[in-house]
Amino acid sequence: MPEPATPQTHLPRGIPMLLLVLMALSTTLACQQMRHQDNTFAWDSLKILKTMAPTSPLPCQHRQPPFPFPDVLHHVKQPQQAATITRHILHKLFAILSNLSKHSIPQHWDIKARHDLLNYLHHYIQRLEHCMPANRMLIKTQGPRNIVLSINKYFRDIQDFLHTHSHSACAWDRVRLEARACFQHVDTLIRRMK
């Protein structure tokens, strides 16, 4: 005698559609919440940076002028370009600050605040990527590509400066000044994302 077939449960056809709608809604809500964070991100980051890296107690002579920040603000007009460039700048800044080893951190820097800043940057980058549709992540025109290349050069120059000066406390003080300038530029770019 054949065994009775076990009843298979099938989800009603509307359930997968409902799940898709709920996922889209949760993404929308997360991105709307990000808009509130956009208003304070750069300035909150500056506060954490100031706690992490107060002005050096050593008299540092910055003989070289500050690194010229790429002229991104004049060329970025569209919100998706601003978001892409913001994301790129924050990735590069995160890379420099996360490469600090325990041996190269200036003694007057707060290690906990450094971790707080790295976490804050990481979470913001993740939210930014989450709220950008995949097609916006790509830079399609030549103008923004040149901007990305100039941003890469800017951060490469900073890393070369650190290496040339053996990651000294004064070299890191210079990086602190550049990070502050980056957050100010990011604030302008974030306002263009709206």
Query: Residue 30 and residue 92: Cα distance in Å, rounded?
Result: 24
Determine the straight-line distance between the first and last CA of the chain, rounded to whole angstroms: 69
- Residue 68 has what pLDDT? 87
Under the phi-then-psi rule, with left for phi > 0, alpha for psi from -120 to 50, and beta for the rest, what region is 168? beta
- Residue 135 has what pLDDT? 43
- Residue 152 has what pLDDT? 94
Query: Residue 71 and residue 151: Cα distance in Å, rounded?
Result: 9
SS3 174: helix
- Residue 63 has what pLDDT? 62
Positions of the chain with pLDDT lower than 70, given as ranges: 1-37, 62-65, 101-103, 133-145
Let me know if 133 is exposed, middle or buried by CB neighbors in 10 A (0-12, 13-18, 19+): exposed
Encoding tokens for residue 181?
């300038």
Q: Could you tell me which CATH number the domain at 40-55+66-192 has? A: 1.20.1250.10
- Residue 78 has what pLDDT? 86
- Residue 131 has what pLDDT? 80
